[in-house]
Structure 1
């Protein structure tokens, strides 16, 4: 489960990340609370979130070109410094009493712009630290790292906001970026896996898009992740609406639901770290279960049943993200990895400015249950569509084995095998990335 931590460079990276991730979660909570206290408007909070994710939607692919062209450790030293500077700037404005909502909007947008370069670079740099053998494990541990910080950061932020105000949460967030900077500086360059960098030239963005479009094992997982990220991951909208409107509870209940989801997410990431392979069928299956669980939660009659479902929803949501991420990275040529991962993150994160307002409108107009139900339905339908496309491309056909004692009741087999053997006959195992 923790095999990649034996690598010194990755240990330094992971240690710095858990500290800065905790600061990031503190800042997210403090930022939303600050905007709400300045404006009294939930719409203003939504605008802040949209501004932070909008750059990824608009410019995400260019960040991948930069990640492929320049040394990744140097890029990360620059981006992590810039992220820390943004946190410190917001801290100074808040603690001095001069902060206005447009300051928060501007800094949120700047954070998004830096993330355009930082995110694909960080994703691709993992392969240089651990190599292809431990890549899947390291990607899983990165997700566990981020979700573990989610268990700590919001709680610390709540205490700080109540006791001394939002400014101190921003200050600690800005200072927390010192940890990854120290880790990057302490890394041994000789122990990094060398990757050929893309030469400077025209058409590299189009080259990256053409590369992904010609690879079904890349394009379809990215399509599925795009649907899930845009329509299935709008939990701040749904959970706050359920806590307030459906169950008539307060912010404490909202915090509890987020904590339960984070527990499931950590468990899902750690279980993913134990797997030896990252098959696309796992991505599709997890997405289908994820959608069904969301639809089940949408009609849950009691609070405790709804709350209990947050744990498996978090686990399967992380399984989708981690497995798709590692599958795409392992299938990508190292020289193209930055551009491919920028596209991956663009469709996964960049869909938030589109899906968030749409799901918010559905939730406000028709109720929290309908909004959550639609998000789960879109996720489930997208998984079925992508699964059928991948099966067709792989020359596979769905077969049902209803015999007693069968290990696999529903399985995919090659079309010629399905046509040749009678129903219920055992099919040979076919090696396939699908």
Structure 2
């Protein structure tokens, strides 16, 4: 049997990896600074709990556009060339970064400006997520897709390691510098996406009712038990275990390590995740993938609990690294199962629903953590979230036996559900 080629043998996939890394690096550098700016500006006139509430609102500002646009962006990713959707979204992110650089240069950044830019970044991510997610499987054969996902995760998590630390260091040097750097990185991302050649077009019926086609994405996810279980598991586990949303508070008022320490805290989970992704790139997971995913979510919750109680910087970094390892384990299994279980003509719409759930777990998780911290304090909020994540892992193991039954990526134990309307037509 001939061994399949490595994903890096494909030029379009190499360009995709460059785009993935540069965009993630830019996004993480911006996000860590925006979070710091919101909390720091709010603390000048507000008590810690009131400032934490403002930090939660940033999550809402980024999530609302995705909530409103989910059906539209998924249908768009299955209807329009996915490369151009991603390129347009990246240019919008570049504009947001350039705008923040200007306000920082003129020392005129305010909370309303930060909230407005956060909402625009939410719009850009709403379109970029499904398009990029649906694009990746078009660049490599299905047989090597899990390895390609692992490599993509390495680029993503490496950007997550370097981005937060770079954002903190650059901001400490000059407040405008992280945003100017992000602008340049987004432009490099755009050029890399331009280098990707034509891809296979979907067979989505262009004469059918667009609204019905949008609803079909929801229908598919809802009735595909393994896809629905995997996506919802991530939603509720990360929604409850949103320790990273509290990092500005921990850096400033619990661990007392400042903006540079915040960069280290933000980088720690990404470092653990990148190491895990690197391992999977060379040693792909092959057996009992579903059970191991559920176990990883339990470890994620436990690490969150210990981090919440820690007042020692080294212990906090270790917990965050373990949290990142567990999260990457779950992401690797979940994304591989979803991509291999979804036909090409549905990947945009399924990706949009997945992005909604992922953003719900991230942005709404930030909001939930910020609001809960405003009520009971950051430590209690983080600990309660970690306990909740462990309970979710136990409940999903019972409610979705299909996840436990997922033994490997070669033949996911599912049956694709029928759709209400036909998607396949003449090319």
Query: What is the TM-score normalised by the length of structure 2?
Result: 0.83
Would you say 1:153 and 2:163 are equivalent positions?
yes
Listed one character per residue, the Cα deviations across residues 166-198 of structure 1 (whole Å, up to 9, x for unaligned) are 2x3222212222222222222232xx4554345
Asked whether the 8 Å contact 1:9–1:129 carries over to 2, the reply is: yes
Q: Where do 5+ consecutive residues of structure 1 fail to align? A: 397-411, 414-430
2:263 is aligned with 1:255:
yes
What per-residue deviation string (whole Å, max 9, x for no partner) do you get for residues 20-57 of structure 1?
32222222233334445555353444433421222123
Please, which of 20, 24, 28 is the counterpart of residue 25 of structure 1?
28
**In the alignment, which of 8, 11, 14 is matched to residue 8 of structure 1?**
11
Match of 1:266 in 2: 274
Q: Which residue of 2 aligns with 1:177?
A: 186
- On the 8 A contact 1:292/1:377 being kept in 2, the answer is yes
Larger-Rg structure: 1
Question: Partner of 1:416 in structure 2?
Answer: none
> Are 1:287 and 2:283 counterparts?
no
Distance 1:350 1:358, change over 3 A: closer
Structure 2 match to 1:388: 398
Q: Please provide the CA RMSD for this pair.
A: 2.9
Deviation, structure 1 residue 246: 4.8
Q: 1:14/1:61 Cα in 2 relative to 1: closer, same or farther (>3 Å)?
A: same
Cross-structure match for 2:138: 128
Asked whether the equivalents of residues 239 and 368 of structure 2 are also in contact (C-alpha less than 8 Å), the reply is no
Q: Does structure 1 residue 201 correspond to structure 2 residue 204?
A: no
Q: Is the 8 A contact 2:240 2:365 kept in 1?
A: yes
Aligned to 1:426: none
Gapped runs of 5+ residues in structure 2? 415-427
Residues 154 and 12 from structure 1, CA distance in 2 versus in 1: closer, same or farther, beyond 3 angstroms? same
**Partners of 2:272 and 2:404 in 1: how far apart?**
35
In 1, the alpha carbon distance for the partners of 2:21 and 2:187 equals: 12
Asked whether the equivalents of residues 243 and 308 of structure 2 are also in contact (C-alpha less than 8 Å), the reply is no
CA separation of 1:382 and 1:155: change in aligned 2, threshold 3 A: closer
Q: 1:310 to 1:91 in 2, by over 3 A?
A: closer
- d(CA) in 2 for partners of 1:268, 1:158: 24
Contact map agreement 1:17 1:179 (CA 8 A) in 2: no
> Are the counterparts in 2 of residues 272 and 323 from structure 1 also a CA contact under 8 Å?
no
Preserved contact between residue 78 and residue 346 of structure 2 (Cα < 8 Å): yes
Tell me if structure 2 keeps the 8 A contact 1:221–1:283: no
Given that 1:221 and 1:324 are in contact with CA atoms closer than 8 Å, whether structure 2 keeps it comes out as: yes
How many residues align structurally? 396
